Structure 1
Amino acid sequence: MVNEKIGFSLWLDFIERDHLKKEFRRMIEEGVINGATSNPAIFAASIETSPAYTAQLDGLKNHSAKAKYEALAIEDIRTAAEALLPLYEADRDGYVSIEVDPFLCDDTEGTVEEGKRLHAAIGMPNVMIKVPATEAGYAAMRRLTAEGIDVNATLIFSPMQALKCLDAMEEGLKIAGAGGKRVRTVLSVFVSRFDRLLDEKLIEKGLEPGRVGIMNAAKIYNLVESRKNPDIRTLFASTGVKGDAYEADYYIKELMAPHSVNTAPLATIEAFVQHPDHRPRLPLKEGTIDTFFEKIEAAGIDMNAVCDKLLADGLEAFKEAFAKLLAHLE
């Protein structure tokens, strides 16, 4: 649940047309969520499995697969944005994110062009354009924010990625501010994928599992907060739990922090609502974080290599999901 007293926002990491019509609005009205996010994998799952898209697809038979996808996604994002608009107008978040084509992750010009085009097509002020945190993405973030478009930097795994995003966003925000535009940005730091990759090895080494993603996110949170920019926040993403290793809302509670966002799957949010706990767990002291990662390094784990692998895997997973969706829409 949203906690405005500490500046904590909870966004739903799920978009599906039937859900948007009823349950989504109820969650907003009851103060459970105050924003939403999407990605290529989420849209692929919804469009491929839900009959709610059949009628619109019937009218798009002569369109390309990507044009069909965009028509469906734009309608859903606009619907979500309209439901969230009262929150946005009251300066209580109310954002929804849509990601650019994942195959543009190494194309700055293509990312900027598509980000501007999608933002204009949706036609709502409370839409964030998601841009992967790659070398091409940093330049695109700077240009989009400079033009007054809210940006969600995604697929962040390493502190170095976060620093590059921060630098790009601050430059863009400065330009936008000089033009009289206020832009809001978030850095989506992926969490649970670290633990799914490393837990088994940590247990073998006698170390506590389920902490690498949290400690890495805590380090990046400190970096973001050190800039003291009210228009840039950490967004904790990839916060769903696979299997029963941890409580379903583990990554919401363990990353409760002022001036932050947590975007989570529907089941994760439902679990949190049953037993909410808003005691801040962050910030952690840098010494505590450093000591933790010294133990990780001593266990033979190269965090730079881990971050590189998770980024490559994340980019590939989104490309695969998007390619599969386009094939489905052909």
Structure 2
Amino acid sequence: MVNRDINFSLWLDFIERDYLKNEFKKLLDKEIVNGATSNPAIFASAITKSPAYKEQLDSLQGKTGKEKYEALAIEDIKTVAKLLRPLYDDNNDGFISIEVDPFLCNDTNGTYEEGKRLFQAISEPNVMVKVPATQAGYEAMTKLMAEGISVNATLIFSQKQATQCMKAMRRGVQQCEESGSGRVEGVISVFVSRFDRALDTELEACGIDPAKTGIYNAAKIYNMIESNEMPNVRALFASTGVKGDALPANYYIAGLMASHSINTAPLATIESHLKSDDRGEVLPIEDSILNGYFTNLEDNGFNMDEICKGLLDDGLSAFEDAFREMLDSLED
């Protein structure tokens, strides 16, 4: 759960209208979470599977699939933002994120314009616009933050991506401060578990312990972010759900407990973590240990640059596929 003593935040990686209206506030009241995140795949699952959206969808007949999606998403995000607003006003996070259309990932101006439009439509200050960490995305991050719009940089697998995000956010924060645009924050969302799901079988065949790459890669990026000493930019550890029973369900929360950081996790992962005693700080890990681990991977034929690029491409494609399928399902 949230640990304000070390400035560790836990956010819920889940959106569904009935849950938001009934159960989500309990998590806030018990100080289990202090923020939330969404992405195209999460919204696609909620909108296409939950009956909670039927009434509003019936009122949107004649609209395009994207117009319907945005109407539904804006209402949900506004609902969460209002529930989280007391935390935001108390400087205890209170953020909810909404992602721009994933098909804009290579369009700087398109990303910026859509992010700004969504932020204004929701009209709550504690909304973060989620922007994929692509070359076009970095410039969009700067432009959004310069106008006082907080940003969640997403789909980060490599330290190179994280460094570019940090530079973009630093420029945006500086421009925001110079213009007096108000409070702005950024998070750099490092995806974790996908490394282990992709590599563990091959690593074990080489005699290398499994289920370490994701945490060590995230720990390395965390060290870089902290070395930049930007209080309003933090590491956020994402993709922290566990598949199967080989690892404890809260493995990627317990293994990444760190000051000045956030972990966003599915509901089942958070519930598992609440039952455990794994609450102690485990980061930072010394760079010498992390560098030694990745040198060993390289010596065994694992090219981390290629692995990170492949995971990014897969992540972008997965979000595009989920978004396209959802839009198709919403078309009259």
Residue 108 of structure 2: aligned partner: 108
Residue 219 of structure 1: aligned partner: 220
Amino acid at match of 2:329: H
Residue 96 of structure 1: aligned partner: 96
Q: Is 2:327 aligned against 1:326? A: yes
Superposed counterparts of 1:1-330, under 5 Å: 1-180=1-180, 181-330=182-331
Q: Residue 298 of structure 1: CA displacement?
A: 1.3
- Which whole-Å CA distance do the structure 1 matches of 2:197 and 2:266 have between them? 17
User: Compared with structure 1, are the counterparts of its residues 62 and 276 closer, same or farther at alpha carbon in structure 2 (3 Å cutoff)?
Assistant: farther
Secondary structure in structure 1 of the residue aligned to 2:302: coil
Q: Residue 276 of structure 1: CA displacement?
A: 3.9
**Deviation above 4 Å: which 4+ runs of structure 1?**
none
Q: Residue 278 of structure 1: CA displacement?
A: 1.8
Cα deviations by residue, 1:97-137 (Å, 9 ceiling, x for unpaired):
00000000000000000000000000101000000000000
Secondary structure in structure 2 of the residue aligned to 1:281: coil
Secondary structure in structure 1 of the residue aligned to 2:258: coil
- Which whole-Å CA distance do the structure 2 matches of 1:157 and 1:2 have between them? 25
- Which whole-Å CA distance do the structure 1 matches of 2:90 and 2:139 have between them? 31
Secondary structure in structure 2 of the residue aligned to 1:130: strand
Amino acid at match of 1:67: E
- Which whole-Å CA distance do the structure 2 matches of 1:81 and 1:244 have between them? 34
Cα deviations by residue, 1:256-297 (Å, 9 ceiling, x for unpaired):
000000000000000001114221110111101000111111
- Which whole-Å CA distance do the structure 1 matches of 2:300 and 2:31 have between them? 43
Amino acid at match of 1:207: I
Amino acid at match of 1:206: G
- Which whole-Å CA distance do the structure 1 matches of 2:275 and 2:76 have between them? 28
Cα deviations by residue, 1:214-254 (Å, 9 ceiling, x for unpaired):
00000000010001010000000000001111000000000
User: Compared with structure 1, are the counterparts of its residues 320 and 8 closer, same or farther at alpha carbon in structure 2 (3 Å cutoff)?
Assistant: same
Q: Residue 178 of structure 1: CA displacement?
A: 1.3
Secondary structure in structure 2 of the residue aligned to 1:235: strand
Cα deviations by residue, 1:122-176 (Å, 9 ceiling, x for unpaired):
0101000000000000000000000110000000000000000000000000010
- Which whole-Å CA distance do the structure 1 matches of 2:126 and 2:204 have between them? 43
- Which whole-Å CA distance do the structure 2 matches of 1:142 and 1:36 have between them? 22
- Which whole-Å CA distance do the structure 2 matches of 1:280 and 1:243 have between them? 26
- Which whole-Å CA distance do the structure 2 matches of 1:161 and 1:288 have between them? 22
Amino acid at match of 1:21: K
Q: Residue 182 of structure 1: CA displacement?
A: 2.2
Gaps of 5+ in 1: none
Amino acid at match of 2:247: Y
TM-score by length of 1: 0.99
Amino acid at match of 2:260: H
Amino acid at match of 1:77: I
- Which whole-Å CA distance do the structure 1 matches of 2:102 and 2:184 have between them? 23
Gaps of 5+ in 2: none
- Which whole-Å CA distance do the structure 1 matches of 2:119 and 2:263 have between them? 23
- Which whole-Å CA distance do the structure 1 matches of 2:103 and 2:317 have between them? 9
Amino acid at match of 1:149: I
